[in-house]
Amino acid sequence: MTINVQFSARPDSWDYFREPLKTAFAGHGLNVALSRDHDPASVEYVVYAPQSGPQMDFRIFPNLRAVLGLWAGVERIVNNATLQVPLARMVDSGLQEGMVEWVTGHTLRYHLNMDAQITDQNGVWDRVYPPLARHRQIGILGLGALGGACASALAALNFQVTGWSRSQKTLDNIRCLSGRDGLDEVLKTSEILVLLLPLTADTDRVIDARALALMPKGSHILNPGRGALIDDDALIASLDSSHIAHATLDVFRVEPLPADHFFWHHPKVTVTPHLASETRADTAAAVIADNIQRHEAGQKMKFLVNRKSGY
C-alpha cells in the first residue's frame, strides 16, 4: 500500500531532503510516494517547515493523519487552528550535535577570554590566567533535547552547570531548577548564560531588564535558541552600562538580521547568522521515517507537541 507524503517547506529544501527521505522510507520498509504537489485529497502525511507568508491551511488535506516538522521549534505552527492532527517536532541527532558544538565552543571562548588575545594583539605580555572550569558557573535556560545535551557536555568538561526548565527535570551532574524562584537563582549565579528555551507566551522577553539586573556583573550571554527570548533594548542598555560584558547572538526577531541593525555594529555583541545548528537531512529523514512507521503500526509517534504548552 502506497503512503502519500507531501513535502511542504522552502523550495531550496526539496533538493536537500528528497533523496535522504526516499532512502530512509525504503530503509524502514515504507512504500512512500513523496511529492511537493500531491492531490490534497490523497495526502496522508505532511513533512513541514514554515515558509514566508500566511500559515498553511491544513483543511485542504481531508485525509491528513499527522504533520512531521523539520524544525526543533514549533512556535510558527503550534497555534494554527486548522491543524487538527498530531504534530511531531524534529529531534535530530545531527541538530543536537551541532548545537552542543556551538554552545561548547562559545562557552570556552568566554571562559578562556579568547577574544582578548584574538582582537587585541597589543604587544603587552599580560599573563592573566582564567579560572578552571570547575570554578565557572554556567546557566542553561531550557533542558529539552538540545539544552539537556549542552548541559551534559559542559558538565563533562567540569563546569558547574545549573539548568532551568518550566517543569522539574533530573539530569546527572546538573543542578536542575524550575519555577520563578529557580529562574531567579539561575540568573543570579550564571557567569555564562545559555538560552535554549522554546518560544511561548511565557518565554517571550524572558531576558528583560529585571532578569539582566539579576545576573552577575561582567557575565556573558549566548542565545542560540529564539531571538524573542531577549528584550533587545534592555540587553543593549545592560551592555552599554557594562553590567553584561558581552553577548553572542545566533537568532533574532527578524531574520536575516538587517544590515543596519545595531547588533551588527555594537562592540559588545557578536552576531552569528543562525548557524548554531541546522537540521541534517540524513538524520532528520530517519526520524521522520521512523515516526511514520510507528504511526502506521498504530504506535505513538515520538516527539509529539503538546499544543497547550506550546512545545
pLDDT digits (tens, 9 = 90+) for 241-294: 999 999 999 999 999 999 999 999 999 999 999 999 999 999 999 999 999 999
Task: Residue 25: name the closest of 87, 68, 85, 71 by CA.
Answer: 68
Predicted confidence at residue 54, as pLDDT, reads: 81
Q: Are 178 and 207 in contact (CB under 8 A)?
A: no
pLDDT score at 122:
85
Question: What is the C-alpha to C-alpha distance for residues 161 and 262, in angstroms, rounded to an integer?
Answer: 31
Place of cell 558538565: 155
Question: Annotated active-site positions, please?
Answer: 226, 274
In the DSSP assignment, the letter for residue 97 is H
Low-confidence ranges of the chain (pLDDT < 50): none
Sequence-separated (6 or more) residues with CB below 8 Å from residue 57: 82
- Residue 6 has a pLDDT of 98
CB 88 within 8 A of CB 303: yes
DSSP secondary-structure letter at 163?
E
What distance in Å separates the CA atoms of residue 180 and residue 170, rounded to the nearest whole number?
Answer: 18
How many angstroms separate the CA atoms of 208 and 228, rounded?
11
Q: Residue 111 has which C-alpha cell?
A: 571562559
CA distance 251 to 269: 12
Q: Which of 131, 216, 140 is nearest to 174 (CA)?
A: 140
Own/partner contacts of 48-52, CB < 8 Å, gap of 24 or more, are 48/8, 48/9, 48/77, 49/8, 49/9, 49/10, 49/13, 50/76, 50/77, 51/8, 51/9, 51/10
Q: Say how many CA atoms lie within 13 Å of 177 toward its Cβ.
A: 19
**100 vs 147: CA distance, rounded Å:** 9
Q: Which three cell numbers stand for residue 24?
A: 530512509
Q: Are 146 and 198 in contact (CB under 8 A)?
A: no
Edge-to-edge, what's the strand order for the sheet holding 66-69? 32-35, 3-8, 45-48, 66-69, 87-88
Angstrom distance (rounded) from CA 78 to CA 23: 29
